A and B are shown apart, each in its own frame.
Chain A
Amino acid sequence: MIRTEELLLNVGPQHPSTHGVFRVIVKLDGEVIREAIPVMGYLHRGTEKLAEGLNYTQIIPYTDRMDYVSAMTNNYVLVHAVETMMGLEVPERAEFLRLIVMELQRVASHLVWWGTYLLDIGAMSPFLYAFRDRETIVNLFNELCGARLTYNYMRVGGVKWDAPPGWIDKVRDFIPYMEKKLQEYDKLVSGNEIFLARIKGIGKYDAKTAIDYGLSGANLRCTGVKWDLRRSEPYSIYDRFEFDIPVGTNGDCYDRYLIRLEEIRQSLRILKQAVEQFPPEGPTMGKVPRVIRPPAGEVYVRIESPRGEIGCHIVSKGKSEPHRLKFRRPSFVNLQILPKLLVGETMTNLITILGGIDIVVGEVDC
């Protein structure tokens, strides 16, 4: 007779597949996971506490460091919250620039996800392809604001820097380039049998569960719920553009993969229209008081980041610093479903499922 016993295994905090410092304690019965306990906080920097001692402009660089794969959308959620409170008008050109950088950021973020996800499950070369193409976007951002990762680009009332001459043309050239590369991605990976065997039907859940867990982004849409804040609760100037919201049917890792690839295509579609309608001139900063002091009260705004609904809840007492600033971080909320998905799965699927959720630990811990 064989004697078996439960094995306790620590995955992380230092492990390449956790995309940062995130730890899962798993109890294993042979190869099968019986229980999984996520442990986080290794990257907790107390952004919300720090923000209480800073004025709103000083908080913007901190938002870059939350979801550092998608800094532009984080910038936007903060300035959008303050603008909503103060009832500020943003000039047309600034709003276009914001939309263009946010959509470029969505493409870049999904490329990082695509590359690292395939790296997680054992395919080395897609990572190089994805980073090669992301580099084009990073260079565009570098030209625009002098930074490659933490942009600090947006300001309350507009954007800090206008697009340099010829920048919009470079964005225009990037769109067909990326469309062509996407076909290459599909050829390389999307139909690959080994890949399909690894992710089809893995990490499945239904719409009811997804809503109950408050999932957002591709994690919610893969179950067939058509909920994208750019459409369902439009902000910025998204209501002027045509694009589709891809949804899945099975709620598994494969659907999430397809949705993210399709979202790149839809973002390119938005970019194409935005570049055409881009106002040739105009100010990039609105009329903003010297000291930004929102009236006493509170506001909750939310936008669609590449990872889902990122929200910003500001409680102001009429001072130049917030009384309380809370970020609703999609990675943190989406990660909650992980222990539920892992029970009964094999160890190898832990990596597939965790990667499929698409977390950024800087945002989980904040």
Chain B
Amino acid sequence: MSDEHQTKEEALSPKGADGGERSEAPGSAADTDREARKREAAEAREAAAKPGSEAGASSRTEPEEPRKPSPKQPQLDEAAALIRALVAPDAVEEAYLNELNGDMPTLVVKAEHWRKTAELVKHHPSLRCDYLRNVSGVDYETHMEVVYHLVSLDSRKELAFKVRTDREAPSVPSVTPVWQTANWNEREIYDLLGIDFPGHPNLVRIMMPDDWVGHPLRKDYEPFDPEV
């Protein structure tokens, strides 16, 4: 009988695949139960749709002190100040705490200063971000962005860096000489998003065949071969 409920629900739902999500109580109790759940879901939807939804998310994670400055604020300020002082005064475009991600300190750095910033972030005694855990490329349709997630294995402090680049001729200096692990990650981003990494030792495709046309993860990607 719970199968019947499920299929009916799925048919009514705008997004069918969400229908099978909840385990249902059997029998007549299911109806009232489901009504209650529907109401809850509707409330949650409304809450999520409110304009200040980002602030809402952060207050959910730390309900008791929503407005207090984050303990990670000094870490962000320190990193930003160091880069401004030791790389270039205008190197940091933006510095903010990513509330959705547990207040991850995030810095947006200008592409021309990125390589020097990377050296600083890795070697400066008060940052020492020696472990590059992830490199992602993102196509925002207005611009491209490369995101670097770093962590210091000693102090366990995390930093995220973003480098924005033009969409028509995207180019971000390679940090492979700073962190070896960037090597394949940058190749993958080049392959799938077409971002050039000047200074990379061997920037060739890694996932797609060498003669592939286009970069599949770009939002405007059109398959070249109609059969593919």
CB-defined interface of A259-289 with B at 8 Å, one 1/0 digit per residue?
A: 0000000000000000000000000110111
Give Cα distance in the complex from A365 to B207, angstroms: 7
CA distance A320 to B17 in the complex (A): 11
- Contacts A290-B41, A291-B45; A55 near B17 (Cβ below 8 A): yes
Report if A287-B54 is in contact (Cβ < 8 Å); known contacts: A41-B209, A214-B181, A320-B15. Answer: no
A297 and B98 contacting across the interface, CB-CB below 8 Å: yes
**B133 and A290 contact, CB distance less than 8 A:** no
Chain B's closest residue to A311 (CB) is: B134
B102 touches A288 (CB 8 A): no
The stretch that binds A, out of B18-26, B72-80, B83-91, is: B18-26
Q: Do A212 and B207 touch (CB < 8 A)?
A: no
Is B82 among interface residues, defined by CB-CB distance under 8 A? no
Bound: A219/B100 CA distance, A: 31
In the assembled complex, the CB of B95 is this many whole angstroms from the nearest CB of chain A, namely 16
Complex contact A297–B133 (CB within 8 A):
no
Knowing A212-B181, A214-B179 are in contact, say whether A48-B217 is a contact too (CB < 8 A): yes
| Alpha-carbon distance A212/B136, docked complex (angstroms) | 18
Cα separation A84 to B101 with both chains bound (whole Å): 7
Interchain nearest-CB distance for B30 vs A (Å)? 14
Minimum Cβ distance to chain B for residue A148 (Å) = 21
Q: Is A27 in contact with chain B by the CB < 8 A criterion?
A: no
Known contacts A214-B131, A290-B41; A300 and B57 CB within 8 A of each other: no
The answer to whether the Cβ of A155 comes within 8 Å of any Cβ in the partner chain is yes
Whether A287 and B40, one on each chain, are in contact in the complex, defined by CB atoms closer than 8 angstroms, is yes
* Chain B: CB-nearest residue to A155: B21
Closest to B41 in A: A290
- Whether B53 and A295, one on each chain, are in contact in the complex, defined by CB atoms closer than 8 angstroms, is yes
Nearest CB on B from A59, distance (A): 10
Taking CB atoms and an 8 Å cut-off, the chain A residues in 162-188 that contact chain B are 162
A291 and B45 alpha carbons, distance in the complex (Å): 8
Asked if A230 is at the interface (CB within 8 A of a chain B CB), the reply is no
Given the interface pairs A40-B207, A49-B216, A214-B180, the reply to whether A300 lies near B153 with Cβ below 8 Å is no
| Bound-complex Cα distance A288 to B139 (A) | 29
At the interface with chain B, which of A98-106, A113-121, A123-131, A325-333? A325-333
Chain A, 306-323, CB within 8 A of any chain B CB: 309, 311, 313, 315, 318, 320, 323
Contact B136 A324 (CB under 8 A): yes
Mask: chain A, 194-205; 1 = CB below 8 Å from B; 0 = not: 000000000000
Partner pick for B54 among A49, A290, A295, A366, CB 8 A cutoff: A295
Cβ of B13 within 8 Å of any chain A Cβ, yes or no, is yes
Residues of A near B192 (CB, < 8 A) are: 48-49
Please determine whether A232 and B21 come into contact, CB atoms closer than 8 angstroms: no
Which residues of chain A have C-beta atoms less than 8 A from B60's C-beta?
A: 87
In the complex with contacts A155-B21, A302-B133, A291-B57 CB distance below 8 A: no
Q: Which of A41, A301, A336 contacts B180 (CB 8 A)?
A: A336
Do residues B23 and A285 form an inter-chain contact, with CB atoms below 8 A?
A: yes
Q: Could you tell me which residues of chain A, from 182 to 228, have a CB within 8 Å of some CB in chain B? A: 211-214, 216, 225, 227
B101 contacts A298, CB within 8 Å?
yes
Please determine whether A296 and B18 come into contact, CB atoms closer than 8 angstroms: no
- A245: CB under 8 A from chain B? no
Decide yes or no whether B130 CB sits under 8 A from chain A. yes
Given A285-B21, A295-B54, verify A290-B98 contact (CB < 8 Å). no
Could you write out 14 A-B pairs with CB less than 8 Å apart? A55-B17, A85-B57, A86-B48, A87-B61, A211-B131, A285-B21, A290-B18, A290-B38, A291-B14, A291-B18, A296-B53, A298-B101, A300-B134, A320-B15
By a beta-carbon cutoff of 8 Å, the part of chain A in contact with chain B is: 40-41, 44, 46, 48-49, 55, 57-58, 84-87, 155, 157, 160-162, 211-214, 216, 225, 227, 232-233, 284-285, 287-302, 309, 311, 313, 315, 318, 320, 323-324, 326, 328, 332-333, 335-336, 365-366
Residues of B in contact with A (beta carbons under 8 Å apart): 13-15, 17-18, 21-23, 37-38, 40-42, 44-45, 48, 53-54, 56-57, 60-61, 98-102, 104, 130-134, 136-140, 147, 149, 153, 156, 160, 179-181, 183-185, 188, 192, 205-209, 216-217
Extra pairs beyond A216-B133, A336-B181 (4, CB < 8 Å):
A232-B156, A288-B22, A297-B101, A326-B137
